Amino acid sequence: MDNLQYYAAWDRSTRWFHWINVVCIVALAALGTAILYGKELGVTDGGKLLLKTTHVWFGYVFAINLAWRIVWGFAGNANARWPAIVPFGPGYGSALKSYLRGLIHGDARPYIGHNPIARLMVSLLMVLLIAQAVTGLVLAGTDIYFPPLGSWITSWIAAPGVDPSSIVPYDKTGIDAASWDAMRAFRSPFITVHYWTFYALLVLIAVHIAGVVVTELKEGGGLVSAMFTGRKVFDRKPADES
């Protein structure tokens, strides 16, 4: 135990992003499921509007937090930056092969940051999170007329001579039928992407959690606790020690 050494892994901003993201995803998944199965659950139009409004507000926090993480990928510590996250950069292939060999032989070297497999997982998760945020913002505007697209949508669907600000969700008063149909056609592919990305995220999150457990058991280092303390501890030299 005397040869244990602590390493700075995740900076404060990265840790805050992670836990805010966790809270948002849990809340959004629960609210989204209630919205999706609202009819089966007996949710009224008023209740559905409340669920969607709450969902959108959590979505704003989720999107802002995600946007900050993207920016922080250029300004954070070495482990938080994109070169340490995005795979397929210089030396990535050999690092992946070496790590896989270590896993097979039960002797995978630990990493201060993301190991090569985790880099693939995190990159894919980020792509899906961005897709979910973008499509969610579009749906917020086309469904309950929230920013950033809400004003444009109400202007689009308002009948001639009708003040767009008078258009309210779940009420077709003052709406031009043809414009409404065109808007719903525009909205349709975003619904599809949002819907399937939701299920893809559930699968990847389960795989991510399983990967964390396996990595903790195989490599040690306090992977989970590092997202609270920012530090990992190893009894041997990490593969990515600079």
Is residue 237 over pLDDT 60?
A: yes
**Collapsed DSSP state (helix, strand, coil) of residue 205:** helix
pLDDT above 60 (res 6): yes
Q: Predicted confidence band at 186 (pLDDT cuts at 50, 70, 90)?
A: very high
pLDDT-above-90 percentage for the chain: 82
How much is the pLDDT for 68?
Answer: 98
* Contact present, 80 and 13 (Cβ < 8 Å): yes
pLDDT digit string (tens) for 51-110? 999 999 999 999 999 999 999 999 999 999 999 999 988 899 999 999 999 888 888 888
- Which pLDDT score, from 0 to 100, does residue 105 have? 85
Q: What would the mean pLDDT of 8-36 be, rounded to a whole number?
A: 96
| pLDDT reported for residue 215 | 81
Each residue of 139-180: pLDDT tens digit? 999 999 999 999 999 999 999 999 999 999 999 999 999 999
What domains can you pick out in the chain, each with its CATH number? Answer: 5-234 (1.20.950.20)
Task: Look up tokens 């077709």; give the residue.
Answer: 172
| The token pair that represents 171 in the structure block | 């009420």
CB 148 within 8 A of CB 59: no
pLDDT at 2 over 70: no
Q: b/e map of 36-67 (b: 16 or more CB within 10 Å)?
A: eebeeeebeeeebbebbeebbebbbebbebbe
- Mean residue pLDDT of the chain comes to 93
What pTM was estimated for this model as a whole?
Answer: 0.93
In this prediction, residues 32-55 reach a mean pLDDT of: 93
Percentage of the chain with pLDDT > 70? 99
Query: Is the predicted pLDDT of residue 123 greater than 90, yes or no?
Result: yes
